[in-house]
Every structure is written in structure tokens, then in C-alpha cells.
């Protein structure tokens, strides 16, 4: 309770007479926060505790698994197995691609829409922005058909018949969704906050546009780029629908969300008592990197969500 | 800025100056289109064409292999006349609205509490926000462990309390409530963080002035804070509606629409029609209907946002 009394002077300054109600209020406030936060965290703690329980310990428990001894076999077998690292490599290929290209596109577009004057600028901007209103599923079916009937690849003839085209191959996991209107929007906002003097000074010194973008704007756009990196990392790490629809038939290129989900499902339908601790191990391991990312870069997450809310 | 350039180059001859201005304008237009053309080509192929194609497929009957047949509005008629599709639409609305309202209220309350200069803000914020960052597919698949009959967590808790077992496969309410609880667990962190940002954006002077006037507690929240957060509320509600309408993984992986389509939603039905029933026409039709509903929501958002800025400006 020592922590609570420390806050008192701030509150007291405004409300001198109401001394005790505030203290009760503070206690209730902390009770509310701690209890609800624990409820929110309960499933994650459950998964962690479940992952370090033996089968016997797990099935003795009811609402929470308290392992009698820390049992790491599942962790070790999963971390040293091939599945996890295959998913991680596949996911990281997508993550880096889906960070690099949208970053370049949005840096360029932000420049075009704030620093260059040309006819139709606002029209093009609105045209790009309009994709934000379209639910993802609208793209999925036509893109699927386009990939499946792409001529000349994946056993297809020149009319796109006979094979499966790009389906179940890497291009289907790397081609869609590279122009993200949200980041173009954020980047344009960021450019608007940068004075034009730097660019003009550099132009006087004879720098061209590419040099200006790389040497002047790139460092100044750092915080928006960090938001982009974080949000894309989380989005691609968790992306499930795209790999399910476009590459669901090829285990070799399955990213982590799809791979882990299928692994867990496969464990669940085994005969006898399902190996729940093993399922929780997989779930915990694929969630930990995201949690770590949030804890380290919390400031930027908050900034990103704020930018989304206040400007969207 | 351009004025300074013009002044600096004023001593030069007027024809050179005119050429310079022409060149500068020219450079800007050239650069803009050199950058934009490849981006726009990609954008048309991967964003515009699919929307048009999806609309087109809504008007045909096609299983992906045989020749497609133009059927006009028959798919839309089928959507309206088939009880299954109406039930799916109703379920989607039900889930979207319930999840949205509870998440918004809960997120607001927690943000309000976190805004009271509490110790350990970062810890509570993390605990509330991290579920949002987890993979919907993985957490939904694991959530089955909680409701599995016989061996599940809820099952064993009920047993230890001497209560009859809850079996979601035959208990519609239980299945629905579990989906709602799961979706709120994964989504409430977002509205909490947005409201917290909004609350932190309210100037302390406004609040102090209100407190001097005797406003506190409920009255302060109701008459000062909520009106100031109106734009944020509109945003939370509209994005929540858009997100809730597209609920997919929890339904697909927890109940798969069971029991008897009572938890089936548009996204799962589109997925089934397209990739299991090979009925591309109906899948595209539903996607078009979802697009129309969400476009309406987006325009509502813009209008309400516009109104707010007029009110305050």
C-alpha cells in the first residue's frame, strides 16, 4: 500500500476534505486493475504453466495447472525439432519482404504526396487510400483464381489450364498486399511534420532526389518506420488466412501461424488423452517473440495505435 | 519556400528564370509519375482488379472448372431467400455488435482506471494488450482445450464443483458466449489503448476547470470526458464493427459454425462456399454484400467524424 500513499499529495492538492473516500477509491481502483489484468493474463499463464507440466500433472489440475516439477521435455523436443525452425524461416522470409517493400513504397509515396506538385495528386492519393475500406476477403477469391489460373506456371498451359499455377508456391505468399494504404497515410503525415529547409539545402548542394530520400528523409522518418516494422511483424507473424488459402497444401512453405495451428490440431485429434502440455508448448513458443517485441518496444506500439486512432 | 528560391535567382535573366521554373515543375511531375506508375500498376492488378472481378463473379454461377454462366441477380436472390444465409448474416451482426459494445465499454473503463496515475501502468497495459497480439489461429486452436467435453478445463472445473458438464456441441448459448468471450479477450486491448491515448490527450486544464466547478466522478466522466472522447468513440465503434464483421479464425477453429449453423458467420460461410462447396458465385456474392455493408460503415464513420469536427471547430 506504500505505493498508493505516494500518489496522495497530487490528489490532495485538489480535494482536501475528502481524505478517506479517495483512499478507498484508490484501493478499489487497484483491486479492479489487478483482478481484471490477471483475468486477461490467465489464458497466457495457463498455457505457460501447462507447457512445463507433465501429462500426469496437467490432468490432475482443474482451473490451473500447477506442475509438481518443471517438466521441460516438450520445450526441448520442440525447440530442437525441425518443424518450428522451418516455420520460423518461412515466416521470416515473409516478414522481411512485407517490411521492406511496404516501407519503400510508403516512403516514396509520402514524398510524392507531400513534396512534389503535379496534377491529380490528391486524386491519386484518395485512389490509393480507398483500398482501406475494402474487407480483405474481397481480394482473396479473385486473387486465388488469378494465381491458380496463371498461365505457364505450376503445370498450367498458356491458357492457365491444367495445373495449379502459383497456388502452394512461394509467389502466392509474397505477391499480394504489398501496397498498404495505412502506411502511405502515416508516412504522408510524418512528411508533413518535416520542414522543407533540409531538402532545399541539400538541393543547393547538388543532391538528387534519391540521395535526399536516403540521406535526409530516411533517418527523419525513423519513428514511423519503427511503427511499420512492428505492425508488419505482428501482422505477418499472425497471418493465417493468406497461407491457408494460397498455400495450405504445401507444408514446406507454411508460415508459423498456419503451421502451429495445424500442429496443435493434429495433437488434439490423436487417440486417447490428447497431449495438452505439448499443445501449450507450441502455443507458448510462437507467442513469446511477439510478447517480447511488445515489452521492448511498448512505446512505439502505443504511438502506432495512437496515430491510427487520432488520424484515422 | 519556392518564393525564396525565386528571390535568390532574381538577378538571372528572366528567360533563364522562366526555364528554371518550368524545369522545376517538370522535374516534380516527372519524378512523381516515375515513382507512381509501377506502384499504380501493381495497385490496379492486386487491389482494383480483384474488387471488380469479385463483383463480376457475384453475377455468375461457377464451380471453378466448368464454364461460368451469367445468372444476373440470382445469387443475391438466393442470399436473401435462403434461411441459411440470412441466419449467417444475423449471426455475424449479433457477434459483431455484442463483441464491439462490450469491448468498447470495458476498454473505456480500464483506460479510465489506468489514466488515474496508477503505479505500474506499463504492466497492466501489457497484460491487457498482449492478447491482441497473439495469433488468432493459434489461440483459437488452443481455446478448444478449454471447452473440450470431458478433458477440457471448463469441463473439469464444472465437475469439481459438482455441476453438470457444459457441452458446446449441444448448448448454443455456451458456444456463443465462449466465442464472444474469446473475441473480447483478443480485441479489448485495442479499444483500451485507443481510449487511453484519447484520455491522455485531454488537457489537464480542462479537467481542473471542471473540478473547480464541482464536477467529479460520474458527472465529470459523463459531461466532460465522454463528449471530449466522442471522435475516439466513433472510431472505436466503427473499426470494431468492421473488425467484428470479419471474425474468422475463432469461428472456423473453435466451433466451425456448429451447432447447426448457430455460430456460423459470413467469413466462414464464404470460405466454405469457395473452397469446400466450390460455389464461387455465392462466395463472391457474400463478399460483395460484406463490402457494401462495410463501405456503408466507413461512410458513416466519415460523416460522424465530420460532424464532430464541426461541433468542436
Q: Name the residue ranges covered by the structural domains of chain B.
A: 2-57, 75-312
Chain B residue at shortest CA distance from A196: B1
Lookup: cell for A7: 500518489
Q: Which of B18, B1, B33 is nearest to A119 (CA)?
A: B33
Size of interface A-B (CB pairs under 8 A): 265
Residue A124 lies in a domain: yes
**Residue of A272, A266, A100 lying closest to B150 (CA atoms):** A272
Among A118, A119, A268, the strongest candidate for a mutation testing the B interface, having the largest count of B CBs within 10 A, is A118
Domain identity same for A27 and A128: no
Contact criterion met (CB below 8 Å) for B241 and B67? no
Query: What average pLDDT does the segment B198-222 reach?
Result: 81
Q: Is residue B259 within 8 Å of B168, Cβ to Cβ?
A: yes
Kindly determine whether residue B54 and residue A47, on different chains, have CB atoms separated by under 8 Å.
no
Res. B4: pLDDT tops 80: no
Q: Do residue A156 and residue A24 come from a single domain?
A: no
Q: Using the predicted structure, report yes or no on whether residue B248 has a pLDDT greater than 90.
A: yes
End-to-end CA distance of chain A, in Å? Answer: 40
Residue A68 covered by a domain: no
Helices B230-245 and B172-201 meet at what angle, rounded to 10?
150
pLDDT band at B94 (very low <50, low <70, confident <90, very high): very high
B151:A38 CB<8 A: no
Q: Rounded to whole angstroms, what are the CA distances from A85 to A37, A92, A221?
A: 32, 10, 33
CA atoms of B140 and B133, how far apart (whole Å): 13
Distance between A209 CA and the closest CA of chain B, angstroms: 9
- Average pLDDT of the segment spanning A38-65: 87
* In a shared domain, residues A21 and A90: no
**pLDDT level of residue A4 (50, 70, 90 thresholds):** very low
Q: Taking Cα atoms as reference points, which of B267, B283, B303, B276 lies closest to residue B95?
A: B267
Q: Which domain holds residue A40?
A: 2-51
Q: Please indicate, yes or no, whether residues A89 and A43 belong to a single structural domain of this protein.
A: no
Report if residue A67 sits inside a domain. Answer: no
Would the CB atoms of A312 and B235 count as touching at under 8 Å? yes
The rounded distance, in Å, linking the Cα atoms of A163 and A285 is: 37
**What nine digits make up the cell of A66?**
500447477
| Candidate from B122, B141, B216 with C-beta closest to A298 | B122
* Structural domain includes residue A32: yes
Mutation pick from B145, B196, B305 vs chain A, by most beta carbons of A within 10 Å, is B145
Q: How confident is the model at residue A307 (pLDDT cuts 50, 70, 90)?
A: low
A130 and A19 in one domain? Answer: no
Which of B2, B4, B32, B188 is the mutation pick for testing A, counting most A CBs within 10 A?
B32
**CA atoms A31, A33, A35, A36: torsion sign:** positive
A57, part of any domain = no
How does strand B60-61 pair with strand B69-70? antiparallel
Q: How many domains does chain A have?
A: 2
* A133, A141, A234: residue with CB nearest B274: A141
Question: Lowest mean pLDDT: which of A129-138, A145-154, B27-36?
Answer: A145-154
- State whether B137 and A109 contact (CB < 8 Å): no
Is pLDDT above 60 for B38?
A: yes
**Residue in the block written with cell 470494431:** B240
Chain B residues in contact with A287 by the CB 8 A cut-off are: 134-135, 138-139
Q: At the top level of CATH, which class does the domain B75-312 belong to?
A: mainly alpha
Q: Indicate if A243 and A168 belong to the same structural domain.
A: yes
The answer to whether the CB of B125 falls within 8 A of the CB of B113 is: no
Q: Is residue A70 part of a domain?
A: no
Whether residue A125 sits in one domain with residue A273 = yes
Give the best-scoring range by mean pLDDT among A101-105, B56-60, B141-145: A101-105
Question: Which grid coordinates belong to A145?
Answer: 483464381
**Within-domain flag for A65:** no
Summarize chain B as % helix, strand, coil (round to 5). Answer: 75, 0, 20
CA B40 to chain centre: 25
Q: Do both A91 and A134 map to the same domain? A: yes
For chain A, where are the alpha helices, taking DSSP H only? 2-12, 19-51, 55-60, 73-80, 82-115, 121-129, 137-148, 170-174, 181-192, 197-204, 209-212, 218-220, 222-238, 241-247, 256-268, 276-296, 298-311
Q: Which of A224, A251, A282, A232 is nearest to A92 (CA)?
A: A232
Pick the residue of B21, B133, B233, B286 with the most A CBs within 10 A to test the interface with A by mutation: B133
On whether both A298 and A238 belong to a single domain, the answer is yes
CA distance A149 to B223: 59
Q: Residue A201: which CATH number?
A: 1.10.3720.10
- Is A95 in the same domain as A225? yes
End-to-end CA separation in angstroms for chain B: 29
Same domain, A134 and A264: yes
A179–B39 CB contact, under 8 Å: yes
Nearest CA in chain B to A38: B127
Residue B54 backbone dihedrals phi, psi, to 5 degrees = -60, -40
Indicate the pLDDT class of residue A85, thresholds 50, 70 and 90.
very high
Q: Provide the shortest C-alpha distance from residue A4 to chain B (in Å).
A: 8
**Is pLDDT above 70 for A289?**
yes
**What phi-psi label fits residue B264: left (phi over 0), alpha (psi between -120 and 50 degrees) or beta?**
beta
Distance, in Å, from the CA atom of A310 to the CA atom of B196, rounded to the nearest integer, reads: 12
Task: Provide, as residue numbers in chain A, all residues whose Cβ is less than 8 Å from the Cβ of B139.
Answer: 43, 283, 287
In chain B, the residue whose alpha carbon lies closest to the alpha carbon of A13 is B208
Residues A161 and A227 in one domain: yes
Amino acid at each position: 500500500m506504500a505505493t498508493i500513499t505516494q500518489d496522495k499529495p497530487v490528489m490532495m492538492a485538489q480535494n482536501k476534505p475528502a481524505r478517506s473516500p479517495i483512499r478507498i477509491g484508490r484501493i478499489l481502483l487497484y483491486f479492479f486493475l489487478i483482478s481484471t489484468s490477471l483475468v486477461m493474463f490467465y489464458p497466457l499463464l495457463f498455457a505457460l504453466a501447462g507447457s512445463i507440466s507433465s501429462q500426469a500433472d496437467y490432468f490432475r489440475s482443474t482451473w490451473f495447472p500447477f506442475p509438481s516439477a518443471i517438466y521441460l521435455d516438450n520445450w526441448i523436443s520442440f525447440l530442437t525439432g525441425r518443424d518450428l525452425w522451418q516455420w520460423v524461416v518461412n515466416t521470416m522470409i515473409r516478414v522481411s519482404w512485407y517490411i521492406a517493400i511496404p516501407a519503400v513504397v510508403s516512403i516514396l509515396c509520402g514524398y510524392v504526396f507531400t513534396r512534389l506538385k503535379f496534377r491529380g495528386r490528391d486524386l491519386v492519393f484518395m485512389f490509393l487510400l480507398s483500398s482501406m475500406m475494402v474487407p480483405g476477403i474481397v481480394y482473396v477469391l479473385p486473387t486465388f483464381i488469378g494465381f491458380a489460373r496463371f498461365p505457364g506456371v505450376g503445370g498450367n498451359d498458356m491458357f492457365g489450364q491444367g495445373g495449379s499455377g502459383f497456388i502452394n508456391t512461394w509467389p502466392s505468399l509474397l505477391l499480394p498486399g504489398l501496397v498498404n494504404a495505412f502506411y502511405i497515410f502515416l508516412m504522408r503525415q510524418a512528411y508533413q511534420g518535416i520542414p522543407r529547409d533540409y531538402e532545399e539545402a541539400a538541393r543547393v548542394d547538388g543532391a538528387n532526389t534519391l540521395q535526399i530520400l536516403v540521406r535526409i528523409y530516411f533517418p527523419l522518418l525513423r519513428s514511423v518506420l519503427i511503427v511499420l516494422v512492428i505492425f508488419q511483424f505482428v501482422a505477418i507473424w499472425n497471418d493465417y488466412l493468406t497461407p491457408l488459402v494460397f498455400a495450405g497444401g504445401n507444408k514446406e512453405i507454411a508460415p508459423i501461424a498456419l503451421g502451429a495451428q495445424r500442429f496443435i490440431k493434429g495433437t488434439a485429434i490423436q487417440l486417447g488423452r490428447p497431449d495438452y502440455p505439448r499443445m501449450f508448448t507450441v502455443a507458448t513458443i510462437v507467442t513469446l517473440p511477439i510478447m517480447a517485441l511488445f515489452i521492448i518496444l511498448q512505446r512505439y506500439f502505443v504511438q502506432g495505435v495512437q496515430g491510427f486512432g487520432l488520424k484515422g | 519556400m519556392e518564393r525564396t528560391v525565386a528571390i535568390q535567382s532574381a538577378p538571372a535573366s528572366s528567360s533563364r528564370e522562366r526555364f528554371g521554373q518550368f524545369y522545376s515543375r517538370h522535374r516534380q511531375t516527372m519524378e512523381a509519375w516515375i515513382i507512381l506508375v509501377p506502384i499504380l500498376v501493381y495497385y490496379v492488378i492486386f487491389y482494383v482488379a480483384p474488387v471488380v472481378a469479385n463483383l463480376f463473379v457475384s453475377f455468375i454461377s461457377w464451380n471453378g472448372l466448368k464454364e461460368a454462366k451469367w445468372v444476373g441477380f440470382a445469387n443475391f436472390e438466393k442470399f436473401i431467400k435462403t434461411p441459411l444465409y440470412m441466419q449467417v448474416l444475423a449471426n455475424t451482426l449479433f457477434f459483431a455488435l455484442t463483441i464491439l459494445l462490450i469491448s468498447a465499454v470495458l476498454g473505456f473503463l480500464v483506460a479510465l482506471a489506468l489514466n488515474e496515475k496508477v503505479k505500474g501502468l506499463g504492466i497492466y497495459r501489457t497484460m491487457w494488450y498482449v492478447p491482441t497480439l497473439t495469433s488468432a489461429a493459434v489461440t483459437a486452436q488452443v481455446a478448444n482445450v478449454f471447452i473440450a467435453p470431458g478433458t477440457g478445463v471448463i469441463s473439469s472445473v464444472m465437475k469439481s464443483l459438482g455441476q453438470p458438464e457444459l457441452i458446446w456441441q449441444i448448448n448454443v448459448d455456451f458456444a456463443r458466449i465462449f466465442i464472444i468471450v474469446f473475441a473480447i479477450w483478443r480485441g479489448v486491448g485495442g479499444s483500451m489503448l485507443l481510449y487511453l491515448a484519447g484520455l491522455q490527450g485531454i488537457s489537464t486544464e480542462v479537467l481542473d476547470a471542471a473540478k473547480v466547478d464541482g464536477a467529479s466522478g460520474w458527472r465529470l466522466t459523463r459531461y466532460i470526458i465522454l463528449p471530449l472522447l466522442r471522435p475516439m468513440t466513433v472510431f472505436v465503434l466503427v473499426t470494431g464493427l468492421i473488425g467484428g464483421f470479419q471474425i474468422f479464425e475463432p469461428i472456423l477453429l473453435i466451433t466451425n459454425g456448429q451447432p447447426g449453423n448457430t455460430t456460423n458467420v459470413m467469413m466462414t460461410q464464404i470460405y466454405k462456399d469457395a473452397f469446400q462447396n466450390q460455389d464461387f458465385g455465392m462466395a463472391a456474392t457474400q463478399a460483395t454484400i460484406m463490402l457494401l455493408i462495410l463501405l456503408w460503415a466507413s461512410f458513416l464513420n466519415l460523416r460522424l467524424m465530420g460532424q464532430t469536427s464541426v461541433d468542436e471547430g
